[in-house]
């Protein structure tokens, strides 16, 4: 998010999902696309069938890497080293897009200086990938007319997440791979409405549509509409609340549709914070681990029981219709919020969700032309869509970047906050499996899905397993400086020695008790992807 904002001026997929099909080269980095974004993977595979070349950078041999032409099996947390090395090759071999750099970007000199100071052999050694492979990948990507980069949480969930993203943006601008169809930089959003939640200002520091709270003109616009004085200072980030809540003076919390006891790093700390609150209210469709700590639980309606819009990865705002009336006592999220606001003395009277959408359009320029009646008859509209007669925007930054000129932001490789040592000799990576969603609150209620993947599995290199005397199915206790869990092991050949991989869906093996809450200083995203652990047979 933050990384694309500083370089391009807008933190969203620059392309539409369908454009991936038309790319010549696709560079996937930090994304297990087949399992986490099957609809995107489908387009990538279609592109490959059409003759596109696929480069995958991932520490694990993922399903998608089996279809790749080049698989860069880098060390966890060495993305910047790899990207800098690729850029260094592109620079030395004269593969840069001079015209694009000249016309559309700024600060190239700095990047050039920085890259020239880098030693490619050293960078290769840091990333653990042979120089020859890096050269091959760099030439392939730079040589294409239409090059698409897709990245995901493997890039952002590091202490250097923002710098990782900036480096990706550098690579794309260096080769002129932005501002066109079938060509761009695409952060893949995990859920059907993560983009929408960010768009609506569910990040500290901005109102809906990324309008900063610090801007007095904008603040006044919202104050007039809402009849209420609004703060000019950014709010707290999640970990500021869940880890340092008491220090930050938080006495009560209202949590909607989140399960931080399972999903936030150093989860024991989160539980401690929530238990220490004077009052906790949780709204969710199931009684999650977090909800069971609450003083009051609001039963929320599921997607099928309510009407409203969601905004997906490609900035597409889509309308979802109510299929069935709410079951039992449950209410839609908007009803819960407006009712609650009313009891607290602030009246929020909306006839329906269409009226809420009208208010969004009124106050949010990028949503300015998006109304329910327009969504009703289409597959949705992609923002920016500033007015009713605007058809929406399939790809961003056409003719110029959102911030004017694209800015190169050079970065040094930053090693992960916690590296393996004698006490904790393994690197633990976390991620998802195809059959489960987030903390399993929904998917584990499905009999077939829980039969498919009934429990967490710790992937370990088979040589490491042999050395440790571990066999498929053995239970191990996995320890980090923050906690300990039990989990079943599966020796595999798809990860390198010294690495471990486990999914975070299962409360029986709550892996986020182990993960490191160290944050990216800009985006405040925790380093879920790397922490040091040790294991022994349970």
Partner 1 sequence: MKKNILKKDHVRPFLRKLARDSRLIAPVRTSHRDLLYQEIESIDSAEIDLSEQPQESAKQFLFPQQEQLFTYQNTSKGFTFSPRKSGMPTVLFGLRSCDISAILYMDVIFLRSPRDHYYLEKRRDTIIIGIGCNEPWDNCFCNATRTGPFLEIGFDLQLTDLGDRFYVESGRAVGDEILEKWPQFFSPVTEEDEKLRYQLMLEARSGFKRHVHVETAFQKIADNSVSPSVWEHIAKRCDGCGGCAYICPTCTCFTIFDRPLSPHTGERLRTWDACTHDGFTRMAGGHNPVNPATDRLKRRFMHKLYYDYKQFKRPGCVGCGRCVGICFGGVDIAMFVDMVCAEKRDQRQSAAVIGDLLVEAGLITRKQLSEALEKRDRTGMPLGSVLMEMGIVTKEDIANCLADKVERL
Which is closer to partner 1, CB of 233 or CB of 447? 447
List, as own/partner pairs, every contact residues 374-383 make where C-beta atoms lie below 8 angstroms and the sequence separation is at least 24, other chains included.
Answer: 375/309, 375/317, 375/318, 375/319, 376/319, 379/316, 379/318, 380/316, 380/317, 380/318, 380/319, 381/316, 381/317, 382/16, 382/314, 382/315, 382/316, 382/317, 383/199, 383/311, 383/315, 383/317
Alpha carbon distance 481, 531 (integer Å): 9
Which is closer to partner 1, CB of 7 or CB of 62? 62
493-508 in b/e form (b: 16+ CB < 10 A) is: ebbbeebbbbbbbbbe
Strands (E) in 34-97, as ranges, are 53-57, 70-72
Of the candidates 337, 281, 274, the residue with the CA atom closest to the CA atom of residue 306: 337
Q: In angstroms, what is the minimal distance from the CB of 40 to partner 1?
A: 10
Which is closer to partner 1, CB of 35 or CB of 417? 35
Question: By CB under 8 A, is residue 448 in contact with partner 1?
Answer: yes
Which is closer to partner 1, CB of 229 or CB of 448? 448
Alpha carbon distance 86, 432 (integer Å): 28
Footprint of partner 1 on 215-274 (CB under 8 A): none
Q: In angstroms, what is the minimal distance from the CB of 38 to partner 1?
A: 5
Backbone angles phi, psi at 218, to 5 degrees: -65, -40
Q: In angstroms, what is the minimal distance from the CB of 454 to partner 1?
A: 8
Footprint of partner 1 on 66-105 (CB under 8 A): 66-67
Q: Which of 6, 22, 42, 95 binds partner 1 (CB under 8 A)?
A: 42
Sequential DSSP letters for 449-495: HHHHS-S-EEEEEHHHHHHHT--TT-EEEEE-SS-EEEEEEEEESSB
Backbone angles phi, psi at 201, to 5 degrees: 90, 20
Footprint of partner 1 on 11-40 (CB under 8 A): 34-35, 38-39
Q: Which of 2, 17, 25, 45 binds partner 1 (CB under 8 A)?
A: 45
Count, in order, helices (H) and strands (E) of the chain: 20, 23
Q: In angstroms, what is the minimal distance from the CB of 52 to partner 1?
A: 13
Question: By CB under 8 A, is residue 451 in contact with partner 1?
Answer: yes
Q: Which residue has the tokens 């932005």?
A: 178
Q: Which residue has the tokens 């908007």?
A: 334
- How many chain residues are in contact with partner 1, going by CB under 8 A? 19
Which is closer to partner 1, CB of 247 or CB of 451? 451
Alpha carbon distance 206, 199 (integer Å): 9
Q: In angstroms, what is the minimal distance from the CB of 433 to partner 1?
A: 11
Q: How far is CA 353 from CA 24, 113, 309, 319, 333, in A?
A: 41, 52, 8, 10, 11
Q: In angstroms, what is the minimal distance from the CB of 452 to partner 1?
A: 5
Footprint of partner 1 on 482-511 (CB under 8 A): none
Which is closer to partner 1, CB of 113 or CB of 471? 471
Sequential DSSP letters for 162-207: HHHHHHHHHHHHHTT-SSBTTBEEEEPPSSTTHHHHHHTT-STTEE
Q: In angstroms, what is the minimal distance from the CB of 285 to partner 1?
A: 18
Which is closer to partner 1, CB of 99 or CB of 448? 448
Where does this chain touch partner 1 (CB under 8 A) — which range of 254-262, 266-274, 339-347, 443-451? 443-451
Site string for partner 1, 455-484 (x = CB under 8 A): ------------------x-----------
Q: Which of 220, 412, 452, 486 binds partner 1 (CB under 8 A)?
A: 452
Which is closer to partner 1, CB of 268 or CB of 446? 446
Q: Which of 6, 22, 61, 63 binds partner 1 (CB under 8 A)?
A: 63
Where does this chain touch partner 1 (CB under 8 A) — which range of 127-135, 284-292, 332-340, 444-452? 444-452
Which is closer to partner 1, CB of 423 or CB of 493? 493
Footprint of partner 1 on 413-442 (CB under 8 A): 434
Footprint of partner 1 on 316-335 (CB under 8 A): 321
Q: In angstroms, what is the minimal distance from the CB of 495 to partner 1?
A: 17
Question: By CB under 8 A, is residue 51 in contact with partner 1?
Answer: no
Alpha carbon distance 231, 236 (integer Å): 12
182 exposed, middle or buried (CB, 10 Å; 0-12, 13-18, 19+)?
buried
Which residues contact partner 1 (rule: CB under 8 A)?
34-35, 38-39, 41-42, 45-46, 49, 63, 66-67, 321, 434, 447-448, 451-452, 473
């Amino acid at each position: 998010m933050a990384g694309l904002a500083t370089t391009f001026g807008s933190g969203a997929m620059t392309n539409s999902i369908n454009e991936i099909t038309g790319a010549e080269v696709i560079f996937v980095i930090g994304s297990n696309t087949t399992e986490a974004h099957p609809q995107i993977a489908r387009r990538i595979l279609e592109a490959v069938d059409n003759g596109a070349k696929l480069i995958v950078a991932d520490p694990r041999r993922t399903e998608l890497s089996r279809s790749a032409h080049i698989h860069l099996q880098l060390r966890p947390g060495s993305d910047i080293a790899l990207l800098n090395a690729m850029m260094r090759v592109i620079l030395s071999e004269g593969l840069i897009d001079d015209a694009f750099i000249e016309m559309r970007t700024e600060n190239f000199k700095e990047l050039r200086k920085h890259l020239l100071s880098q030693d490619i052999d050293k960078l290769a050694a840091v990333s653990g990938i042979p120089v020859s492979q890096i050269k091959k990948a760099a030439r392939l990507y730079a040589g294409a007319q239409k090059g698409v980069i897709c990245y995901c949480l493997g890039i952002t969930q590091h202490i250097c997440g923002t710098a990782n993203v900036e480096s990706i943006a550098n690579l794309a601008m260096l080769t002129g791979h932005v501002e066109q169809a079938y060509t761009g930089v695409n952060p893949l959003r995990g859920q059907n409405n993560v983009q929408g939640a960010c768009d609506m200002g569910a990040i500290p520091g901005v109102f809906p549509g990324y309008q900063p709270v610090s801007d007095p003109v904008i603040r006044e616009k919202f104050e007039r509409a809402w009849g209420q004085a609004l703060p000019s200072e950014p709010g707290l980030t999640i970990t500021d609340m869940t880890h340092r809540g008491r220090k930050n003076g938080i006495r009560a919390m209202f949590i909607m549709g989140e399960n931080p006891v399972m999903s936030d790093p150093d989860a024991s700390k989160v539980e401690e914070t929530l238990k220490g609150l004077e009052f906790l209210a949780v709204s969710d469709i199931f009684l999650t681990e977090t909800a069971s700590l609450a003083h009051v639980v609001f039963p929320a309606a599921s997607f099928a029981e309510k009407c409203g819009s969601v905004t997906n990865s490609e900035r597409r705002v889509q309308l979802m219709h109510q299929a069935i009336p709410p079951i039992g006592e449950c209410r839609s999220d908007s009803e819960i919020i407006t009712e609650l606001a009313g009891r607290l003395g602030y009246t929020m009277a909306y006839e329906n969700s269409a009226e809420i959408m009208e208010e969004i359009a009124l106050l949010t320029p990028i949503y300015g032309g998006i109304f329910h009646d327009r969504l009703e008859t289409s597959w949705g509209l992609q923002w920016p869509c500033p007015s009713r007669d605007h058809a929406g925007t399939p790809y961003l930054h056409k003719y110029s970047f959102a911030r004017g000129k694209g800015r190169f932001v050079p970065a040094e490789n930053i090693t992960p906050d916690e590296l393996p040592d004698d006490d904790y000799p393994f690197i633990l990576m976390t991620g998802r499996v195809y059959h489960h969603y987030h903390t399993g609150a929904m998917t584990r209620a499905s009999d077939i899905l829980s039969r498919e993947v009934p429990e967490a599995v710790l992937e370990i290199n088979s040589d490491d397993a042999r050395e440790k005397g571990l066999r498929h199915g053995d239970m191990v206790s996995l320890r980090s400086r923050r906690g300990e869990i039990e989990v079943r092991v599966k020796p595999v050949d798809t990860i390198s020695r010294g690495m471990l991989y486990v999914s975070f869906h299962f409360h029986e093996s709550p892996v986020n008790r182990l993960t490191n809450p160290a944050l990216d200083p800009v985006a405040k995203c925790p380093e879920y992807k790397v922490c040091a652990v040790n294991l022994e047979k349970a």
